[in-house]
Amino acid sequence: MKSTRLKIIDRILEVIGESHTIAVCSHMRPDGDCIGSSLGLALALLERGKEVTVWNQDPVPSKLRFLDPDQLIQTPRKIHRPFDCVIAVDSASIERLGTAQEHIANRKVLINIDHHASNTRFGDINWIASREPSSGELIYRLITEAGWKLTPRIADCLFTAISTDTGSFQYPSTLPATYYAAGDLVKKGADLATVCDEVYQSYPLSRVKLLQRVYNKFKLIDDNEIAYFWLKKEDFDKTGATASDTEGLIDHVRAIEPVVVACVFEELEPELTRISLRSKDKNVNVSDVAGLFGGGGHQAAAGARIVGKPLGIQRRVIAAIRDQLKSRTT
């Protein structure tokens, strides 16, 4: 499938070609697209003989560890020499890089590759493709247009990135080119059986217990068009679950037939709440809701971190969702 080569890709490849020490960083609380796209890029750079550092402030989720058997992804640490190039992948803002942010100041060039419409364009070079369903697809395009070797291990990483951020190719953001990329990755050696087993069919018991609590606690309001639930510290304490176990829980209530918008409120600290939003209606943009609280994302999936008292946050977020639903019908 041929496409016109973008000038921004040429610029990125030029900088990479001139660089030897490269850091690849991605957003805190990593998901499949974050881990898959950053690892896929890092492996491709290693194939090119680059000296590569891969950083994320948080651990790789257990279901994604099969992608990183060599533990390339490390916790950010102080480096006494500058990086020729830092590449931020799948991060809508430099703040989302977490503790890596303070360790990448000593660099020559910062490249920002992302697919979030809310991206703040914090790089010296910014490739922001908000119509693309995943950052993994951008890395796939970068590698293929550069003519770099695409090994089976890289294919596993990029297939995981694309599959997870498209909801197994179910989200409306999925494009014809997405299926082509996925098919080509399978041709290049992506182990579909292993990826599906590890990512979709292997869950720790702690996550199942957490999901049980979600089903017991979720609420339906506004003619069942809004579904929401809270994850409190006690939920994690009683189930033994970790932050990585929360990924995908929201989709269980989103899938209820009358629901248009689903929201999870996750208590990070007594007065700090993380919200995640999902929309099933293309006319209801949850990124606009998240944007009201300093967050962002996509039309169908977005999030934010909000400071304040929990009940006050809940009232404000629900009110914003209601406004979005009303604007859909007016």
CATH top-level class for 7-200?
alpha beta
Structure tokens at 225: 């068009």
Residue 2 has pLDDT above 60, yes or no: no
| Interatomic CA distance for residues 141 and 299, integer angstroms | 23
C-alpha distances in Å from residue 101, one per residue of 25, 90, 137: 9, 14, 24
From-to residues of CATH 3.90.1640.10 in the chain: 7-200
pLDDT at 191 over 90: yes
Beta bridge partners of 265: 230, 275
Q: Where in the chain is the domain with CATH 3.10.310.30?
A: 206-329
| Helical pair 152-165 and 192-200, crossing angle rounded to 10 deg | 40
Give the residue-averaged pLDDT of 86-106: 94
Confidence (pTM): 0.86
Span 203-236, pLDDT tens digits? 889 999 999 999 999 999 999 999 999 999 999 9
* Distance of alpha carbon 23 from alpha carbon 277, whole angstroms: 31
Nearest to 100 by CA among 86, 114, 113, 111: 86
Strands 296-297 vs 261-269: parallel, antiparallel or unpaired? unpaired
The CA distance from 156 to 146, in Å, is 19
pLDDT of residue 298: 85
Task: Please name the amino acid found at residue 246.
Answer: T
pLDDT at 63 > cutoff 80: yes
- Specify the 3-state DSSP secondary structure of 275: strand
Average per-residue pLDDT in the chain? Answer: 94
Topology (CATH) of 206-329? Diaminopimelate Epimerase; Chain A, domain 1 (3.10.310)
